[in-house]
């Protein structure tokens, strides 16, 4: 092929190909800088993008599970506070029952102490009735409670507790002690025995405080583990798809210079055929 041709300019063709490659690399670099990603879509790296999308899906699922666990944590915290107040009330009730067990107090004192006992018993019911979070309570039934604990949809189960029947009714219905009839010293002593109404209510309350404390501790640990897992996944995701902006910035400057040189080279190559005009002067 003749180099002295106005129909075919080899130099311009080479310069144009080089300039096109530079422009393509420049566009890719600008995309990385503008998005912050080395792999922004499947066109950049199909395999890496597929892995990244799977990891993003797992992170989103785990985050959703943590949101559900957060609601359960709130419910358990409210439940614990209610049971703590019930426990404190039962302690006060025990103090009054000790006084009622004294056979030397007057009838007026006995009536006053019994009125105090009834008021504290009503407070216990109020604490249990108010132990709800987002419209839900776990102190009025015994059904198993199930919450999603991770992004895979695995379930953590714990038991509800019918504190109204097992604790409140236990003391509210105790014969002669916290009811409306007059209480005797013997009735009060019977309530405080190991198998008595008050002792039973205290034991059940403390047992459930321990149980719900264990449930809450598990939820707290699961939330923290999920957070740590998401941090690790996000770090791995960043290593896979994030762009090295310092490197891309340096590359951008180099490509911009190459683009300028390529443009000049193409301009020079396009002017080369004009030299053939001198042959016809």
DSSP string, 16-76: HHHHHHHHHHHHHHHHHHHHSBS--STTT-HHHHHHHHHHHHHHHHHHHHHHHHHHHHHHH
CA distance 178 to 169: 11
| DSSP for residue 180 | S
Mean pLDDT of 102-106: 86
Is residue 179 domain-shared with residue 202, that is, in the same domain?
yes
The separation between CA 14 and the C-alpha centre of its own chain, rounded to angstroms, equals 58
State residue 72's pLDDT score.
95
Which CATH number covers residue 217? 1.20.1330.10
Out of 69-78, 158-167, 255-264, pick the least confident.
255-264
Res. 41 pLDDT band, cuts 50 70 90: confident
Question: pLDDT above 90 covers what percent of the chain?
Answer: 44
Is residue 165 domain-shared with residue 273, that is, in the same domain?
no
Give residues with Cβ within 8 angstroms of 178, minimum separation 6: 93, 114, 117, 118, 121, 171, 172
Out of 39-43, 129-133, 227-231, pick the least confident.
39-43
Res. 188 pLDDT band, cuts 50 70 90: confident
5 occurs within a structural domain: no
Is residue 125 domain-shared with residue 18, that is, in the same domain?
no
Q: Which domain holds residue 273?
A: 10-36+243-280
pTM score of the predicted model: 0.77
Secondary structure element (H or E) that encloses residue 148, with its range? strand 144-148
Residue 224 neighbours by CB distance under 10 Å: 11
Mean pLDDT of 145-163: 94
Mean pLDDT of 189-207: 84
| DSSP for residue 159 | E
What rounded mean pLDDT belongs to the chain? Answer: 87
The separation between CA 187 and the C-alpha centre of its own chain, rounded to angstroms, equals 51
State residue 3's pLDDT score.
64
45 occurs within a structural domain: no
Res. 15 pLDDT band, cuts 50 70 90: confident
42 occurs within a structural domain: no
Is residue 123 domain-shared with residue 174, that is, in the same domain?
yes
CA 236 to each of CA 59, 73, 187, 222: distance values in angstroms, whole numbers, following the listed order? 11, 29, 68, 21
46 occurs within a structural domain: no
State residue 152's pLDDT score.
92
Is residue 137 domain-shared with residue 201, that is, in the same domain?
yes
Is residue 213 domain-shared with residue 235, that is, in the same domain?
yes
84 occurs within a structural domain: yes
Q: How many structural domains does the chain have?
A: 2
* Phi-psi sector, 181: left (phi>0), alpha (psi -120 to 50), beta: beta
Tokens linked to 195? 């198998």
CA distance 120 to 177: 12
Res. 6 pLDDT band, cuts 50 70 90: low
Q: Which residue has the higher pLDDT, 77 or 34?
A: 77
Task: Find, among 165, 177, 161, 57, the residue nearest to 114 by Cα.
Answer: 177
Residue 79 neighbours by CB distance under 10 Å: 26
57 occurs within a structural domain: no
Tokens linked to 2? 């003749």
């Amino acid at each position: 092929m003749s180099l002295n041709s106005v129909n075919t300019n080899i130099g311009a063709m080479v310069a144009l190909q080089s300039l096109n490659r530079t422009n393509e690399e420049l566009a890719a670099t600008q995309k990385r800088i503008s998005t912050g990603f080395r792999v922004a879509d499947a066109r950049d790296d199909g395999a890496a993008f597929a892995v990244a999308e799977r990891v993003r899906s797992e992170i989103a699922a785990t985050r959703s599970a943590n949101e559900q666990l957060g609601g359960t944590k709130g419910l358990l915290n409210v439940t614990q506070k209610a049971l703590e107040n019930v426990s404190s009330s039962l302690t006060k009730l025990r103090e009054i029952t000790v006084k009622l067990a004294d056979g030397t107090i007057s009838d007026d004192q006995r009536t006053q102490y019994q009125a105090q006992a009834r008021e504290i018993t009503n407070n216990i019911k109020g604490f249990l009735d108010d132990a709800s979070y987002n419209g839900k309570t776990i102190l009025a039934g015994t059904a198993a409670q199930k919450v999603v604990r991770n992004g895979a949809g695995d379930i953590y189960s714990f038991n509800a507790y019918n504190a109204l029947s097992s604790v409140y009714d236990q003391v509210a219905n105790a014969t002669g002690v916290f009811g409306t009839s007059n209480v005797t010293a013997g009735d009060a002593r019977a309530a405080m025995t190991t198998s008595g109404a008050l002792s039973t209510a205290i034991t059940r309350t403390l047992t459930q405080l321990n149980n719900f404390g264990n449930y809450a501790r598990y939820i707290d640990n699961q939330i923290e583990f999920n957070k740590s897992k998401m941090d690790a996944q996000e770090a791995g995701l960043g290593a896979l798809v994030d762009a090295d902006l310092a490197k891309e910035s340096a590359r951008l400057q180099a490509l911009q210079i190459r683009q300028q040189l390529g443009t000049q080279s193409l301009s020079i190559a396009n002017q080369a055929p004009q030299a053939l005009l001198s042959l016809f002067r």
